[in-house]
Amino acid sequence: MKETILTGIRVNSELTLGNFLGALVPMVRLANKYSKDYNVNIFVPDLHTIISDVDGDIPSNTIRSLKYYLAAGLELNENIHIYRQSRVPAHSELCWILDCTASMGELNRMTQYKEKSEGKESVNVGIFNYPVLMAADILLYSAKYVPVGEDQFQHLELTRNIAMRFNNKFGETFVLPVKTSDQVKFMNVENGIRIRDLLNPEKKMSKSTAAENSKIMLSDAPERAAKKIMSATTDSLGKIKFDMFNQPGISNLMQIDALVTDSPLQDVISTWSGETHYGDLKAKVAADVKVFLEEFQNRLANIPDEEVLRLLEAGETYANEVAGRKLAEVQKAVGLR
């Protein structure tokens, strides 16, 4: 049995450079390196998408988002499976069964839930239950490696806890995804990736931040994206050092540069450490982001919708088979069959 690498990105809107560099590009690089020997599942969590408002419509956003993987250089073969969560009913069904193992307390502790519900009078149950559906997405396919950005690590740890508890109670049923420290090693990055807001680098870059200059969208004109990098907030310490805590702005730029040029972060850090001209670093990162976006957007324009639709058809047949088998095993374990 091949092991599985799996990831998903919601399609509420256009993606930011944060989603792209934090999850999509690492996934494409892993897929290209390992897909001969692993199953690589790339799915669209469209049920997770409807927890909040959607810009545009889900079918078009889905096609666009899947084209991003191809434009980022994903090399297709028979081990790569692409599907929509809503077309595989086992996800929702397993979510319910796992709901009966997960506790209110552990879901209440999820940082993302706290952030999304803070100050709101009313919050939908989907936002609260979202990590359990995510656990179902992962456990149905026995995925060991789940390349995601750092903000999703807590949900991965929760998935492990839910799976462990289930296995203890009902017998060995689920394969656990590896610990986040080992996910990071597999992704060949130093730490979990968190691309920062360009104007307010204490925060992560997010599609929901209003200020246009705080985020780079994948559809930004490359020249405009370069200008956003040039106007990024740094600090007044005057010496370049990779230190996300004390110098998050300048460190974020080094992180972005490493990812867009596919270079080890350590190499970028050694090139710039100790330099005093922040403008030189910004100009280099701006130029690299510009080239990266130009190449990406050119490739994107040449991918027909039909290519993605074909992939979905094959992928959804595969996903229903694998997930259906696991769901039947789970139903048996809990006594439903």
Of the candidate spans 54-62, 119-127, 144-152, 323-331, the one that interacts with ligand TYM by CB under 6 A turns out to be 144-152
x/- binding map, residues 120-139, to ligand TYM, per CB under 6 A? --------------x--xx-
Helix (H, G, I), strand (E, B) or coil at 8: strand
Of the candidate spans 1-9, 181-189, 260-268, 315-323, the one that interacts with ligand TYM by CB under 6 A turns out to be 1-9
The DSSP secondary structure of 108-176, one letter per residue, reads HT-HHHHHHHTT-S---HHHHHHHHHHHHHHHTTTEEE----GGGHHHHHHHHHHHHHHHHHH-S--PP
Burial 90-114 (b: 16+ CB within 10 A, else e): bbebbbebbeebbeeeebeebeebe
Cα–Cα dist 274/37, whole Å? 42
Residue of the chain from 4, 5, 23, 174 that contacts ligand TYM (CB under 6 A): 23
| Catalytic residue ranges | 116, 204, 207
Residue of the chain from 45, 201, 222, 249 that contacts ligand TYM (CB under 6 A): 45
State phi, psi for 105 to the nearest 5 degrees.
Answer: -60, -45
Of the candidate spans 2-10, 183-191, 221-229, 255-263, the one that interacts with ligand TYM by CB under 6 A turns out to be 2-10
Least gap, CB of 214 to ligand TYM (angstroms): 11
Q: Does 146 bind ligand TYM (CB under 6 A)?
A: yes
Of the candidate spans 7-15, 61-69, 237-245, 302-310, the one that interacts with ligand TYM by CB under 6 A turns out to be 7-15
Least gap, CB of 335 to ligand TYM (angstroms): 27
Q: Does 175 bind ligand TYM (CB under 6 A)?
A: no
Sheet containing 80-84, strands listed edge to edge, beginning at the edge strand earlier in sequence: 80-84, 39-44, 4-8, 143-145
Of 203 and 310, which CB lies nearer to ligand TYM in the complex structure? 203
Helix (H, G, I), strand (E, B) or coil at 14: coil
Helix (H, G, I), strand (E, B) or coil at 239: coil
Helix (H, G, I), strand (E, B) or coil at 39: strand
Query: Which residues ranging from 201 to 260 are in contact with ligand TYM (CB under 6 A)?
Result: 204-205
Cβ proximity of 253 and 313 under 8 Å: no
Report residue 75 as tokens. Answer: 């090399």
Least gap, CB of 275 to ligand TYM (angstroms): 25
Size of the site for ligand TYM (CB under 6 A): 24
Least gap, CB of 306 to ligand TYM (angstroms): 25
Smallest CA-to-CA distance from 199 within 161, 232, 238 is with 232
Of the candidate spans 14-22, 65-73, 119-127, 316-324, the one that interacts with ligand TYM by CB under 6 A turns out to be 14-22
Question: Number of H helices and number of E strands within the chain?
Answer: 15, 4
Least gap, CB of 276 to ligand TYM (angstroms): 28
List the Cα angle 46/47/52 in 5-degree steps.
90
Q: State which residue has the least CB distance to ligand TYM.
A: 22
x/- binding map, residues 177-196, to ligand TYM, per CB under 6 A? ----------------xxx-
CA end-to-end distance (rounded Å), the chain: 25
Least gap, CB of 313 to ligand TYM (angstroms): 21
Residue of the chain from 151, 220, 257, 288 that contacts ligand TYM (CB under 6 A): 151
Q: Does 152 bind ligand TYM (CB under 6 A)?
A: yes
Q: Does 91 bind ligand TYM (CB under 6 A)?
A: no
Cβ proximity of 283 and 234 under 8 Å: no
Cβ proximity of 272 and 281 under 8 Å: yes
Q: Which positions touch ligand TYM (CB under 6 A)?
A: 6-10, 18-19, 22-23, 45, 48, 134, 137-138, 146, 148-149, 151-152, 193-195, 204-205
